[in-house]
Amino acid sequence: MFRLLSHQGKRTQSCLAAQRRYEHHRAVMAIRREDVNPWERRAPLAPRHVKELTNAGVKVLVQPSNRRAIHEKYYLRAGAVVQEDISEASLIIGVKRLPEEKVIPRKTYAFFSHTIKAQEANMGLLEDLLTKEVRLIDYEKMVDPNGYRIVAFGQWAGVAGMINILHGLGLRFLALGHHTPFMHIGMAHNYRNVSQAVQAVRDCGYEISMGLMPKSIGPVTFCFTGTGNVSKGAQDILNELPVEYVEPHELKDVSETEDLSKVYATVLSRHHHLVRKSDGIYDPMEYENHPELYTSHFRTSVAPYTTCLINGIYWDPHTPRLLRRLDAQKLIRPSKSSHVFAEGSPGLPHKLLAICDISADTGGSIEFMTECTTIDKPFCMYDADQHIDHDSVEGNGILMCSIDNLPAQLPIEATEYFGDRLFPYIWEMLPSDATRPLEEEEFSPQVRDAVITSNGALTPKFEYIEKLRERREKAQIMKKSGMKRVLLLGSGYVSGPVVEYLTRDEKTQVTVASVLLKQAEELAAKYPNTIPVTLDVSSQEGHLDSLVKDHDLVISVLPYSFHPLIAKHCIKRKVNMVTASYLSPAMKELHSSAEEAGITIVNEMGLDPGIDHMLAMECIDQAKADGCTVESYSSFCGGLPAPECSDNPLRYKFSWSPYGVLLNTISPAIFLRDNQVVSIPAGGSLMESSTPMDFLPGFNLEGFPNRDSTKYAEPYGIQTAHTLIRGTLRFKGFSKAMSGFVKLGLIHSEASPILHHSASPVSWKELLCTQMGLSPSVSNEAFEDAVYERIGKDDFGMDSLRWFGMLSDEPVPHADSVLAALAKHLEAKLSFEKSERDMIILRNDVGLRHPTGELETKHISLVVYGDPNGFSAMAKTVGYPAAIAARMVLDGEIMTKGLVVPMVKEVYGPALARLKEEGLNFMSKSTIEE
């Protein structure tokens, strides 16, 4: 009988577990759904493990999943509660990583995170776990005192990998002209259970023992590297064939025998192939401490006599490789043979036909295995001469199989096996409270040493991850010489045009640093010389500094509040900087420091501020040159949906930060009208001050003042103006609908405990009742009457609230504040669909008194539409100005040191000309009064 089937997991005895089980009658844990890889059908615990937990009083939540191989009815029978919401659990366990957006803050999670080697693909998840103060227990680091993993699927990786490569060998032999018994073995996941797979291998073995292998291919030989669970699992499968094991040095002789009624195998340990570079001796103690002193002769002593290599060894960058590209080139050279082969029974092109790299360590012990294969595309051919992989079993080269989730092919047995090893440690994980310091937890060394993150930081044992990641990033950034290197902070709405514009120059390289790695990767995939990295500016100042140091210029499209911090690092490292945000007081304080450092920091280089400044100064400077006096200045700008996409009560959709848009509606404003300063207080009066704007009557616009307009009299040089206002444009109806939100207290940025991630969900009706001081149990009629009264008996406002589902039991998104929750809610309702487009409208009206006494009003307009298949209007009008300024600084066109705004001709002249080249066309008209 197949040996693996009798290996029921030997449960590690845990005194701590036995002592504490009685405490767990109130504990709640959850088994989460696997939702990243479509082939992932495993679970961390089987129903029999769950039954033992529920019998001890533990509440076990199981997220429903039709993909899970073990039906949920078996978990129900074991006493589990199958439900979607698992936020009640303090311990959440899974098999593989979860999407960042599904991480619940301040919980204890256990899963394979694949972060311990600073794998870039999972750095975004690691950042999210740190930000959300999650305690992560990584199964991969749960080891015994000898360093061997105690919670793993390793044996089942070996089983599945061996079944797969036997199937692959059958295909490869067929492509080379040979039908073999291996053709009757399928992929591991095609069998209902491992017993069926074993029977197929036995049937193959029977045919081999009957002498049904083609003579012209010679004996088939297998080499297993490593002696751990992976290798043992693979050997268990091979043992179902007629196999003779030999020592590695005997492989050459048996590969030349004529006995085809069996296969041959060898198991390679370190002493078989590792030797000291200096004298050819192997010292096991020295190798443990100094592997870099050793090399492997596997390529010459064993590989030439191996048909199929099954690689199961862990590789470290300091250890010797088994095979390099050069070795593969030599191994696929045509073999010299004295045999004469007939056309119908051809010989093999070379001995080494296949490699099953179960370790799936890209660029590791098999140097040329640079990308894993997948369960749905399990094989590729590696052509060492061309150094390319192609999806086939035909052609020249070595058949490669390097699936990195092999146990998922045998999910039921793998779940049982893994659960037996994990279960003893569940008892000590259950009381874990992620909000407590790690030192207060009563963990065994096996669990404590596997905690990667806790309380918002990497644990001391894993602090190396950050340094390893930074070294890898630096090597990638500095790889190409002679490049101008730009660090772009942020990968959101406006980053695309920045990258597109700058990378038109093949000598410019852009590093996109974002807290959302996936977003940065998507951006980098579209453009040449673009590198994605993960960075959270708010919590990784050291990482920010190292990135700034390696670049020639930094562009920040992050919120303005981060800019002083970024600027300080730019000053420290003497690196130029560009932003599209307003020049804040905190930034102004850095002017002299930037001058002393000899760097340029360009601010307000977007749309508003940015293009509005440049158009204003172009007009004002020319007017002054013509001897005119500026008597009035009005500038209104807005990012809007195109009219055909504005079918909602706000007549608005988000192409910019939703939170910022909402917060601006309660800001104060100051402007000058007919020499009178008009002040609008903070708190909501702004929405009451909106007025119709009829300069483009077809658009039905309204406008309201924006911040302090009076401060622009001096920088614009228009102290003579009796009217000075800068404002925001919206479609008519926005202010009225938004005023209702303000009156209901929804534009409120202070912390709201009832909306906290750990709080029970609340509905919009319940939240509004709380805001108005009503009982949540009040009748719907009384509730709506109270809302109607609160918003000033405004029918349009009520219709707006109904449209947004805010008078219903629809749940409010979890957030830190009411304002943040509203931003999330509206963003979900008012996001642009793929086929929709946005629009930018900018209008400057400048009143000029000529020396003749004539009053001329210059009307300067910009209307830009977004491209549904390209960049949004907002992205173009913010991103391109920032990119143009960056190019001007890189090329030495902007030489001024310190803080610079685009109000001088050396900046606005070239910039406006280049914006026209990007399709941003400005219209200018005049009206004259005598």
For the annotated catalytic residues, the residue numbers are 608
- Torsion angles phi and psi, residue 336, rounded to 5: -90, 120
In angstroms, rounded to a whole number, what is the distance separating the alpha carbons of residues 45 and 334?
50
In angstroms, rounded to a whole number, what is the distance separating the alpha carbons of residues 285 and 1?
39
In angstroms, rounded to a whole number, what is the distance separating the alpha carbons of residues 416 and 406?
15
The first and second tokens of residue 105, run together, are 């803050």
In angstroms, rounded to a whole number, what is the distance separating the alpha carbons of residues 292 and 275?
11
What would you measure as the largest C-alpha separation in the chain, in angstroms?
112
What secondary structure letter does DSSP report for 32? Answer: P
**Residue found by looking up tokens 């924006």 in the block:** 706
Contact between residue 860 and residue 481 where contact means Cβ atoms under 8 Å apart: no
> 865-871 long-range contacts, Cβ below 8 Å, gap at least 24?
865/642, 865/837, 865/838, 865/839, 866/642, 866/655, 866/837, 866/838, 866/839, 867/837, 868/834, 868/835, 868/836, 868/837, 871/496, 871/497, 871/500
**Residue found by looking up tokens 């130029």 in the block:** 576
User: How far from 379 is each of 153, 190, 373, 397, 403, CA to CA, in Å?
Assistant: 22, 16, 6, 12, 9
Q: Roughly what angle, to the nearest 10 degrees, separates helices 154-175 and 194-209? A: 40
- Torsion angles phi and psi, residue 792, rounded to 5: 80, 30
- 772 exposure class (CB count in 10 Å sphere: 0-12, 13-18, 19+): middle
In angstroms, rounded to a whole number, what is the distance separating the alpha carbons of residues 834 and 867?
10
Contact between residue 531 and residue 482 where contact means Cβ atoms under 8 Å apart: no
In angstroms, rounded to a whole number, what is the distance separating the alpha carbons of residues 160 and 205?
17
What secondary structure letter does DSSP report for 334? Answer: P
The first and second tokens of residue 180, run together, are 């073999």
**Where do the DSSP E strands lie in 440-523?**
451-454, 457-458, 484-489, 508-514
Closest CA to 65 of 25, 96, 105: 96
Relative to beta strand 855-865, strand 922-929 is antiparallel
In angstroms, rounded to a whole number, what is the distance separating the alpha carbons of residues 667 and 618?
29
Contact between residue 587 and residue 573 where contact means Cβ atoms under 8 Å apart: no
Q: Roughly what angle, to the nearest 10 degrees, separates helices 541-549 and 563-573? A: 50
Contact between residue 376 and residue 346 where contact means Cβ atoms under 8 Å apart: no
Number of neighbouring beta carbons within 10 Å of residue 490: 23
The first and second tokens of residue 337, run together, are 């043979």
What secondary structure letter does DSSP report for 336? Answer: P
Q: What is the dihedral of CA 276, 279, 280, 286, to 10 degrees?
A: -30
**Residue found by looking up tokens 């490593």 in the block:** 226
Residues 6+ apart with CB under 8 A from 727: 634, 635, 636, 637, 671, 703, 704, 705, 706, 709
Q: How far is CA 343 from the centre of its chain?
A: 54
Contact between residue 44 and residue 110 where contact means Cβ atoms under 8 Å apart: yes
In angstroms, rounded to a whole number, what is the distance separating the alpha carbons of residues 507 and 891?
12
CA-based end-to-end distance of the chain: 107
In angstroms, rounded to a whole number, what is the distance separating the alpha carbons of residues 724 and 475?
52
In angstroms, rounded to a whole number, what is the distance separating the alpha carbons of residues 744 and 753?
18
In angstroms, rounded to a whole number, what is the distance separating the alpha carbons of residues 20 and 307?
53
**Residue found by looking up tokens 């045919």 in the block:** 207
